[in-house]
């Protein structure tokens, strides 16, 4: 009971930290390019890439996602899209945090929505409370019936007035009140098979699951400035949920290597690398 009462206040303290500490880091971002135009960007990947990622998903050992040398061309094509978008929007200090597969079913009983609490928070308007951070959804299976809804601020840099509005909207959510208002400037990101979508989680967004008619399987990648990680306790950085293994040959891929934080590279053997904050 007390924990529920204190939850909105803890959230407000987090928002204050984001505004006055994290915002200083985010102010260095150029916020330009295709992501800068709409704070989201969507493209379509070739069928062979989707097939390769589905194969990796099926072979996933549930501990780490593992990308072998046979996936090198797939990763190269993905990061050829990702790097220009990310560098134009966030500048040189943006790096990959991790990768994870998420599958959601129409009945919301598995995958991301392990319980109704997680479903509740995802489908209400929110930011991720970590400042500027890019999420990338690669849809391996989906019909667009589980879209992401996002609101673009007047400027890519969140103004003080918008920050106050975000506090109010998020406080409503953390108080246990549903808030799924249909804003006029809402943009829809439809996750259909073969789409690759990027968006900034610093802007209000939410999931839509009322009309979902089939399973959705996505590979999620997250990108942020590691300077923030020690300042935040929220959902940012590399952890047990998004660690992954890759073949050292991937370091020959320029656009992949440029988005990899060398501090998170750990050699498991002569050919395999674990991307992690530390050896688990």
Q: What is the pLDDT of residues 45-58, one digit of tens each?
A: 999 999 999 999 99
pLDDT for res 63: 77
Which range scores top for mean pLDDT: 7-11, 41-45, 117-121, 147-151? 41-45
User: Angle at which helices 47-59 and 72-90 pack, to 10 degrees?
Assistant: 110
Q: How much is the average pLDDT of 118-129? A: 71
Q: What is the DSSP string of 119-150?
A: HHHHTS-B--SSSS-EEEEEEEE-BSSSPEEE
Instruction: Report helix, strand or coil for 99.
Output: strand
**What residue has token string 């204050």?**
16
CA geometry: angle at 170 spanning 29 and 6, to 5°?
120
CA distance 237 to 146: 25
Higher pLDDT, 4 or 97: 97
CATH topology of domain 2-60+71-90+98-221: Jelly Rolls (2.60.120)
What integer pLDDT is reported at residue 121 of this predicted model? 58
Going by C-alpha positions, the residue among 92, 76, 72, 77 that lies closest to residue 43 is: 77
Residue 206 · residue 125 · CB < 8 Å: yes
pLDDT in tens, 52-103: 999 999 987 667 899 999 999 999 999 999 999 999 999 999 999 999 999 8
- How many beta carbons lie within 10 A of that of residue 158, not counting itself? 22
Question: In the prediction, which pLDDT does 114 show?
Answer: 38
pLDDT digits (tens, 9 = 90+) for 184-221: 889 999 999 999 999 999 998 898 876 666 789 999 99
Higher per-residue pLDDT: 126 or 279: 126
Over residues 218-245, the pLDDT tens digits come to: 999 999 999 999 888 778 999 989 999 9
* Order of all β-strands in the sheet with 244-247: 65-67, 244-247, 272-275, 265-267
Residue 110 pLDDT class (50, 70, 90 cuts): very low
- 277 φ/ψ angles, rounded to the nearest 5 degrees: -70, -30
How far is the CA of 62 from the CAs of 1, 58, 66, 223, 229, in angstroms?
A: 35, 10, 10, 22, 25
Higher per-residue pLDDT: 232 or 253: 253
Q: Is the pLDDT of residue 4 over 60?
A: no
Residues 198, 35: contact at Cβ < 8 Å? yes
pTM of the predicted protein model: 0.88
- Domain residue extents for the chain: 2-60+71-90+98-221
Cβ atoms 277, 252 nearer than 8 A: no
């Amino acid at each position: 009971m007390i924990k529920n009462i204190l939850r909105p206040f803890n959230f407000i303290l987090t928002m204050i930290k984001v505004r006055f500490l994290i915002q200083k880091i985010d102010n260095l971002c150029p916020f330009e390019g295709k992501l800068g135009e709409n704070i989201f960007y969507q493209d379509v990947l070739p069928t062979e890439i989707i097939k390769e990622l589905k194969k990796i998903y099926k072979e996933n050992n549930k501990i780490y996602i593992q990308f072998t040398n046979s996936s090198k061309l797939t990763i190269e094509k993905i990061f050829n899209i990702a790097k220009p978008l990310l560098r134009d929007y966030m500048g040189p200090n943006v790096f990959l945090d991790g990768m994870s597969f998420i599958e959601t079913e129409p009945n919301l009983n598995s995958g991301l929505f392990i319980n109704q609490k997680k479903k509740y928070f995802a489908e209400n308007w929110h930011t991720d409370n970590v400042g500027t951070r890019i999420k990338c959804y690669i849809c391996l299976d989906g019909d667009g019936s589980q879209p992401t809804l996002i609101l673009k601020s007047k400027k890519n840099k969140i103004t003080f007035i918008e920050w106050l509005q975000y506090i109010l909207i998020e406080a409503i959510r953390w108080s246990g009140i549903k808030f799924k208002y249909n804003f006029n400037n809402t943009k829809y990101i439809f996750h259909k098979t073969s789409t690759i979508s990027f968006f900034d989680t610093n802007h209000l967004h939410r999931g839509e699951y009322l009309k979902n008619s089939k399973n959705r399987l996505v590979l999620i990648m997250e990108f942020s400035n590691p300077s923030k990680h020690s300042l935040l306790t929220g959902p940012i950085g590399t952890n047990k949920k998004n660690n992954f293994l890759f073949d050292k040959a991937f370091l020959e891929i320029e656009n992949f290597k440029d988005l990899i934080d060398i501090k998170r590279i750990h050699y498991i053997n002569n050919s395999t690398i674990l991307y992690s904050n530390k050896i688990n």
